[in-house]
Amino acid sequence: MLKGFGGFGDMGKMMQAAQDMQEKMAKMQEDLANVTVTGESGAGLVKATATAKGDLTALEIDPSIFVASEKEVVEDLILAAIHDAQRRAKDKSQSEMSKMTEGLGLPPGFKLPF
């Protein structure tokens, strides 16, 4: 081995670890597309379902809230349910990301650019 190049073995291990992490991240992104969360508002009168990636997949509205004079209330409840679903999706995604990265020795709260 050439003098001064002894660290290349470690570099190879680091590159393999980075590749493994990239593969795990891709798998996690696929998995998050299959995980759903449900947000709600109005004590469950409006429910929005989204993937953990944040894509809205369903909206359920209790028919009892369809009163013409309450149009703005219904719109607010729909938006609130969607926002709740999006927040839950973000929380779930961050939770799954934390599980994956905890073994890497990264500082707490460190966010990867994915």
pLDDT of residue 59: 96
Instruction: Compute CA distances 106 → 14, 54, 97, 111, whole Å.
Output: 14, 25, 12, 9
- CATH code 1.10.240.10 for 35-96: no
* Cα 82 to chain centroid, rounded: 15
pLDDT of residue 112: 58
pLDDT of residue 73: 93
DSSP strand pairing (56-61 vs 46-51) = antiparallel
Q: What is the mean pLDDT of each run of 10 residues along the chain (114 residues)?
A: 56 80 82 90 95 92 92 95 95 84 64 56
Where in the chain are the domains?
Answer: 35-96
pTM over 0.85, yes/no = no
Q: Cα angle at 51 between 74 and 109, to 5 degrees?
A: 110
